[in-house]
Amino acid sequence: MEKRLRMVIPKGSLERGSIEILQKAFYRVEGYERSYTPIVSDREIELRILRPQEIPVYIAEGLFDLGITGRDWVEETGVDVKVLRDLEFGRVKLVFAAPAASRYKSLDHFLEERLSRGESVKIATEYLNITTAWVMGTRAYSERLGSRRPTVITPWYKFGDSPQVSILLSFGATEAKPPIAADAVVDNLETGRTLEQNNLAVVEELMESSALLVANKEALEDEWKREKIYDILTMFTGVLESEKKLHIFLNVKEENLEELLATLPALKSPTINRLSMEGWFAVNTVIDKSELHRILPKLRRLAQGLVAHKPELILPLEEIGRGSDKNLERKRS
C-alpha cells in the first residue's frame, strides 16, 4: 500500500498564504479554488482544507500528520502538538476592545470600573479559553471573584459560576456585538479598521498570532512520516530564508580581496574564482537583504560589476532532521 502523509491547511484568511508557501516550495497545488481536497504534485502528500479552529485538535488526535494553523488556535485549544516553525504570514493581534467612548486603559481597568459599580460584564469572542484565562488573571476579577470561573455561554451549553462576568461564544462579526449583545470583545485584527467602523477601540493587546507549521507527535515517531515532514519543513524554511537574502556577484582586484572578504557577511564562506584578467577575482555569496545598504559604500570603493538578485530557494539541509529535535526548536526562535 502506498504511503501518504496526511496534511491539512486552513480555510479563510490563512488559506492564500498556505497555498503560496506550498507553491514557492515547488509543490504544485491544483483544485483548491473549488475543492476541499486539492491535488498536490507530490503524490505522497494527501492534502485537505479545513477551518483553522479545527486543525490543532485534528492533528493532536492523529487524524492528520501535519498542518498549518494559527498560533491563536493552538493556544486556544491547548492541545499537545509539535510546533515546527513559525511560517511568518497571517500575522494578527488578539486584542481586547471596548466602545471607543469608554476610554478604558486595560482589561483590568474595564473590569474594575464595572464590577466596582455592581454591573454585569458580557464579553463576546471566538476565543473562550484565552479570554477566560486573561479575565481570571486580572487583579479586579481575582479580588472580587477569586477562583470562580466566568460563565461561558454557547448555543449548546453554559458553564461557570460567576454571576457577574459572562463570556459569549461568537461565530464571527464579533465587532458588531456591542453594545446590545456584549459590553466588549476579544477579537483578532490586522489593521483595526473594522473595529473603528463599529465604534470600538483597542484597550489591550493580549497576544500576537501568525501561521504555524505543526505536527502530530506520534507521526514524528514514524520513520517514513518523520522524514517526509522534515522534507516539507526544509522546503518551507528555504522559502522563508530566501525571502530575506540576496545572492550577490562582484569582481575585485587582488589587492582589495582580503578587505572585501572582511566586509562581506557571508552565509558560509564566499565562492572565489580567479578571472582570466590578471590580478582580478570573481566573488559570489549570499547576504541578508538588510546588509546591502550598510556594506554598499565599501563595495563601491573596493569592487566592480556588482550584480544582486533574489535567490529562489536556500535549503538548510544540514540543520533539519539530522538526529535531534533541537534543530526544530532553534527554528521556532
85-129 pLDDT tens trace: 999 999 999 999 999 888 899 999 999 999 999 999 999 999 999
User: Which residue type is seen at 306?
Assistant: L
Mean pLDDT, range 301-327, rounded to an integer:
75
Instruction: Write out pLDDT tens, residues 9-43.
Output: 999 989 999 999 999 999 999 998 889 999 999 99
Helix (H) or strand (E) holding 159: strand 158-159
All structural domains of the chain with their residue ranges? 5-90+211-242, 93-208, 245-309
**What are the b/e assignments for 199-208, b being 16+ CB within 10 Å?**
ebbbbbebee
For 121-148, b/e burial (b = at least 16 CB within 10 A) is bbbbbbbbebbbebbbebebbeebbeee
Give pLDDT, residue 269. 76
From the candidate CATH numbers 3.50.50.60, 3.30.1700.10, 3.40.190.10, 3.40.710.10, the one assigned to the domain spanning 93-208? 3.40.190.10
Phi, psi of 307 (to 5 degrees): -125, 130
Q: Which three cell numbers stand for residue 216?
A: 502530530
The whole-number average pLDDT for the span 152-166 is: 93
Biggest CA-to-CA distance, the chain: 87
Give me the pLDDT at residue 316, please: 76
Which residue shows C-alpha cell 481536497? Answer: 37
pLDDT digits (tens, 9 = 90+) for 181-198: 999 999 998 766 888 888
Say which range, 139-143, 279-283, 297-301, 311-315, has the weakest mean pLDDT. Answer: 311-315
pLDDT at 312: 82
Of residues 266 and 291, the one with the higher pLDDT is 291
Confidence of residue 331 (pLDDT cuts 50, 70, 90): very low
pTM: predicted TM-score of the whole model, two decimal places: 0.86
Residue 330: pLDDT band (50, 70, 90) is very low
Residue 159 burial (CB count, 10 A):
10
Cα distances from 7 to residues 31, 37, 65, in angstroms, run: 16, 10, 6
The torsion angles phi and psi of 29, rounded to 5 degrees, stand at: -115, 125
Over the chain, what is the mean pLDDT? 91
Residue 2: per-residue pLDDT: 83
State yes or no: pLDDT of 325 exceeds 60: no
pLDDT for position 266:
64
Q: How confident is the model at residue 233 (pLDDT cuts 50, 70, 90)?
A: very high
Q: Which residue has the cell 459572562?
A: 166
CATH of 245-309, one of 3.30.70.2740, 3.30.70.260, 3.40.50.970, 3.30.70.120: 3.30.70.120
pLDDT of residue 214: 98
Fold equal for 5-90+211-242 and 245-309 = no
Give the pLDDT score at 324. 47
CB of 156 closer than 8 Å to CB of 163: no
User: Between these two residues, 93 and 172, which has the higher pLDDT value?
Assistant: 93
115 vs 165: CA distance, rounded Å: 9
Residues of the chain with pLDDT > 90, as a percent, come to 68
- CATH H-level superfamily of 5-90+211-242: Periplasmic binding protein-like II (3.40.190.10)
- Whether the per-residue pLDDT at 329 is higher than 60: the answer is no
